Amino acid sequence: MNRKIVALAAMAAALISTAVAAPVAPQFGTAEEARAMLDHAVAALKENQAAALKAFNDEKNKQFRDRDLYIYCFNVDDGKFTAYQSAMLLGVNVRELKLPPDDPVGQRAYDAVHNAPEGDYVALEYQMPKPGTKQPATKQFLETRIGNQGCGVTYFK
């Protein structure tokens, strides 16, 4: 139970960490860059899923981590993260992620990919302050399903 609470707190902190830790005027990844990164991740997953997930979780791998862009994945059967920017969240169920005040963003992300045909891309939006600000800004998930993995990337619109 304590691991679950710590993991959920870490997940929320990871999502908002860019709002606290980044400089006032950082350069953000674009929708086009996010799509290119996700396309590259899909190709890597199709080639070798185990190696791809390891690469996604490698914080030094710049192919799958660039500024505020990073690849995350979860198992579409049980919802547990298999790749995320924070290793503490591996094994945590994506469906448990909620953003204030009560946005079930994790459940929405899971449902969108779980119900989509394999290879289709889906987009969802949520509100998150940009780094250095307190004003909510629109952030978008771009996700797809490859086999038993739901993978995506987020970016500010």
Q: Give the pLDDT confidence of 110-150 residue by residue, as tens digits.
A: 999 998 999 999 999 999 999 889 999 999 999 999 999 99
Q: pLDDT (tens digit, 0 to 9) for every residue of the chain, 157 residues total? A: 544 443 444 444 444 444 444 444 458 999 999 999 999 999 999 999 999 999 999 999 999 999 999 999 999 999 999 999 999 999 999 999 999 888 999 999 999 999 899 999 999 999 999 988 999 999 999 999 999 999 999 999 9
H or E element that contains 20: helix 2-21
102 to 26, 78, 105, 106, 155: CA distances (angstroms): 28, 22, 9, 11, 21
Residues in the chain: 157
Helices and strands (H and E) in the chain: how many: 4, 7
Q: Which domains, ranges and CATH numbers included, belong to the chain?
A: 2-20+30-156 (3.30.450.20)
**pTM metric for this prediction:** 0.82
